[in-house]
Amino acid sequence: MSKTTADLLPCGDPVQFLNEQGELTGPGAEAEARGYTMPSDEDLLAVWRQMVIGRRFDTQATALTKQGRLAVYPSSRGQDACQVAPMLALQADDWFFPTYRDSMALVSRGLDPVEVLTLLRGSWHCGYDPVATNTAPQCTPLATQAVHAAGAGHGLARRGSDGVALCFIGDGATSEGDFHEGLNFAAVFNAPTVYFVQNNKYAISVPLAKQTKAPSLAYKGIGYGIRSEQVDGNDAAAVLAVTRTALEHASSGSGPFLIEAHTYRLEAHTNADDATRYRESDEVTQWSTRDPIARLRAYLTGTGALTAEIEEQVTAEAEEYAARVRERMNAEPEVAPLSLFEHVYAQPTPQLREQADLVRAEMDEVRA
Ligand SMILES: Cc1ncc(C[n+]2csc(CCOP(=O)(O)OP(=O)(O)O)c2C)c(N)n1
Ligand SMILES: [Mg+2]
C-alpha cells in the first residue's frame, strides 16, 4: 500500500506522556493512533537510573576540561532523556551514528567512558572499535553522519539483517545539504534508518528561529516521503515510546523514520563557549524547570517503582562511576600530538609535513 501524506505527518503537538510535574497525561488519542504506548515502570526505572549516571558522567567530563585532561567537551546536560532512552531501545544488530554532543549516549550504550572521551582529549581516533560496538565515531563535520547512516541502513537490509541505523543529529545540522541527501537516499532505498533530531534550540549562538522557517523540524521528513514525529524531548517516557515505534517501523521494512525531539542545551555549546553572550538567563532558568530526570523521578516515585533506597543506591553508583572515570583519565597516557599526522595519507603531503614540523618545533620549545 502506498503511503499517503497523512501516514507521514507528525502529531500536531509534540508527543508527551508525562507533564512537567511528572503526572501522567498521555498518550492522547492522536499518539495512541500512531502506536506509541506507555513503557513499563521497569523500563522507565532503567532509563532514570542511566540518566542519573549519564548526567554524572557529563558533569565529570566538563570538570576534566578544567583540569586540562580533555581538549574540549560539548555537554548534553538537559538533553538526558534524548541521550539515554533511545540507547536503551536499541537492539543488538542496530548501529548508532553519534555526533560530538553524544558522549552521554555512548556511555549509556555501554561503551567504555575513557574510550568515548579519547577523541575529545585530542586523539586522532575515536577510542572504541566501531565494528565491534556497531557504533560509528562521533561525527564533528555537521550532518555527514546522515549520509553514512543512510548507507549503513541500506547495507543492513541488503544483508538480510533486521538491524536499524540510528542517526543522531542537531537542529542546526538539519540545514546542511548532507542531511537532505541522507534523507532522500534513505527514503528512495527504503533504508531502515531512524533520524533522531535533538532540537536543543541552538546551533552554537544561532537560535532556531534564525536557522529555519519550518514550523517543526519533523516536517523536513515529509517532503522525502519519510514518516515523521515530534516528541517532548524532556519526557523520557515519550522519547522511549516514539523511538521504539520508529525502530520497529524501520526494522520491519517500512523504511526510514524521522523524530524531532524538543529539548534544550542547558550548558554552553562547549566549555570554550560563553552562552551568556547570546541567550538570556531567564530562558535557561525556565528550561531548568523542565528537567527530564526530575520529571521521571516524580512519576516513578508516585507509582512506587522508585524508592528512597534505590535512589540512594543509584546515586552512589553514579559517584563511583565518575570516580573511576576521573582516576582513569588521570592515569591514561597523554596524547602524542604528532600522531595526528600519521594516518592521514600513506605519503604525507608537503603541507602536512610542514605542519608536523611546526608542531614538533613548538613541542621542543615547550620542553626547552
Ligand atoms: C560542516 C560543518 N560546518 C560547521 C561546523 C561548525 N559547527 C560545529 S557545531 C555547530 C553547530 C551545530 O548545531 P546543532 O546541529 O544544532 O548541534 P548542537 O551543537 O546544538 O548539538 C557548528 C556550526 C562543523 N562542525 N561542520
Ligand atoms: Mg542545536
CB atoms within 10 A of CB 119: 21
Residue 6 banded pLDDT, cuts 50, 70, 90: confident
Which cell numbers hold the place of 172?
542546526
Residue 95, CA atoms < 13 Å, CB-side half-sphere = 30
* Helix (H) / strand (E) containing 340: none
Tell me what pLDDT residue 293 has: 98
Whether 133 shows a pLDDT value over 90: the answer reads yes
User: pTM for the complete prediction?
Assistant: 0.96
How much is the pLDDT for 46?
98
Question: What is the per-residue pLDDT for 1?
Answer: 46
Is 269 tagged catalytic?
yes
Residue nearest to atom 20 of ligand 1 (CA): 203
Is 327's pLDDT higher than 90?
A: yes
Mean pLDDT of the chain: 95
Ligand 2 ion local residues (Cβ < 5 A): 170-172, 200, 203
Which is more confident, 5 or 161? 161
Domain range list for the chain: 5-335, 336-368
pLDDT band at 39 (very low <50, low <70, confident <90, very high): very high
List b or e across 15-48, with b for residues whose CB sees 16 or more CB atoms inside 10 angstroms. Answer: bbbbbbebeeebbeeebeebebebbeeebbbbbb
Q: Say if ligand 1 is within 6 A of residue 141 CB.
A: yes
Tens of pLDDT along 172-195?
999 999 999 999 999 999 999 999
Q: Do 74 and 101 form a contact (C-beta atoms < 8 A)?
A: yes
Residue 347: the pLDDT is 92
Do residues 106 and 116 lie in contact, with contact meaning Cβ atoms separated by under 8 Å?
A: yes
Give yes or no for a contact between 196 and 85, defined as CB atoms under 8 angstroms apart: no
Catalytic residue, candidates 265, 290, 299, 321: 265
Choosing among 3.40.50.720, 3.40.50.970, 3.20.20.220, 3.50.50.60, the CATH entry for 5-335 is: 3.40.50.970
- Residue-level pLDDT at 2: 58
The predicted-structure confidence for 70-129, as pLDDT tens digits, reads as follows 989 999 999 999 999 999 999 989 999 999 999 999 999 999 999 999 999 888 899 999
- Per-residue confidence (pLDDT) for residue 366, from 0 to 100: 87
Q: Which of 180, 219, 278, 297 is catalytic?
A: 278
Segment 135-151 mean pLDDT:
98
Residue 324 is among the residues annotated as catalytic for this protein:
no
Q: Give yes or no for residue 204 CB within 6 A of ligand 1.
A: yes
Joined grid coordinates for residue 28: 492522547
240 versus 7: the higher-pLDDT residue is 240
Contacts by residues 333-337 (CB-CB < 8 Å, ≥ 24 positions apart): 335/121, 335/122, 335/123, 337/122, 337/363
Catalytic residue flag (residue 279): no
**pLDDT for the residue numbered 368:** 83
Pocket test of ligand 1: the residue of 79, 97, 100, 142 to mutate, having most ligand atoms within 8 Å of its CB, is 142
Asked whether the predicted pLDDT for residue 3 surpasses 90, the reply is no
pLDDT > 90: percent of the chain: 91
Instruction: Tell me, using a 6 A CB cutoff, whether residue 170 lines ligand 1.
Output: yes
CB atoms within 10 A of CB 350: 7
Please write the tens of the pLDDT for every residue from 204-221: 999 999 999 999 999 999
Least-confidence region, from 47-61, 253-267, 291-305, 343-357: 343-357
